[in-house]
Amino acid sequence: MTEKYDNVWDAIYDDDPTRAESLKIKSELMIRVEEFIKENGLTQKEAAKLLGVTQPRISDLVRGKIDRFTIDMLINMLSQAGIKVDITIKKAA
């Protein structure tokens, strides 16, 4: 029987739901930062200056190097961009 998952992280980390949840959050935040950069037509250098990080960090972000970022760092970057992050906490299903 084929198992169905809500997202790729649940499938990859089927045995580690905590890791899967952390990666889901980080990937969503990374997508939002990258969208901000694209929507504003920023170069990596411009984005780095605006978001308070180095250009190599922006390069890591656009290359999807998820393990190089913390949730805190990504929230700080979004805050620097003027984007508010709301957190919803609910009991797991």
Taking each helix axis from N to C terminus, what angle separates 17-39 and 71-80, rounded to the nearest 10 degrees?
20
pLDDT of residue 44: 97
pLDDT in tens, 30-42: 999 999 999 999 9
Question: Positive or negative, the Cα torsion across 52, 54, 57, 59?
Answer: positive
pLDDT of residue 78: 97
| Rounded Cα–Cα distance for residues 57 and 61 (Å) | 6
- 3.40.50.920, 3.30.450.20, 3.40.50.12780, 1.10.260.40: CATH of 13-80: 1.10.260.40
Question: Positive or negative, the Cα torsion across 92, 76, 78, 68?
Answer: negative
Domain ranges for the chain: 13-80
| Rounded Cα–Cα distance for residues 75 and 55 (Å) | 17
pLDDT in tens, 53-86: 999 999 999 999 999 999 999 999 999 999 999 9
Among the residue ranges 11-15, 24-28, 35-39, 43-47, the one predicted with the least confidence is 11-15
pLDDT surpassing 80 at residue 92: no
H or E, element range at 77:
helix 71-80
pLDDT of residue 6: 66
pLDDT surpassing 80 at residue 9: no
Q: Which of 78, 76, 84, 92 is nearest to 20 (CA)?
A: 92
Among the residue ranges 6-10, 12-16, 43-47, 77-81, the one predicted with the least confidence is 6-10
